[in-house]
Amino acid sequence: MGGNQADVDMVLTQPTTNEIAWVQVKSRSSQAELDDYLLRFHNDGSFDRFFFICHSAPKILRMPDSAGSELWTAERIADAAIEAGLFRWLIERMH
């Protein structure tokens, strides 16, 4: 978790490349909030990648073309869970 880093929900390190990723997770967000966090990421400068993960938004979110930045919406999160073999695990937890 971000701990003392108010702007970061999670910091990930890719062990083979030592890339460090800033991860911000929101259940609901807006384009203005996405843009704000992207600006914070760029201003910080100590991370290689930025992930903005959001389950839902009142309008479609768009990540500006920016190297090392990714937007994961509900569809992408679901795809990743299925690809990782977590579908059955998720279903079991719903009961």
Predicted confidence at residue 4, as pLDDT, reads 54
Give how far Cα 8 sits from Cα of 2, 13, 40, 81, Å: 5, 14, 10, 22
Task: Look at residue 1 in the predicted model and tell me its pLDDT.
Answer: 41
* pTM (2 d.p.): 0.81
Q: What is the pLDDT along the chain (95 residues), one digit of tens a residue?
A: 444 566 789 999 999 999 999 999 999 999 999 999 999 999 999 999 999 999 999 999 999 887 789 999 999 998 998 999 888 888 888 87
| Half-sphere exposure at residue 24, Cβ-oriented, CA atoms within 13 angstroms | 22
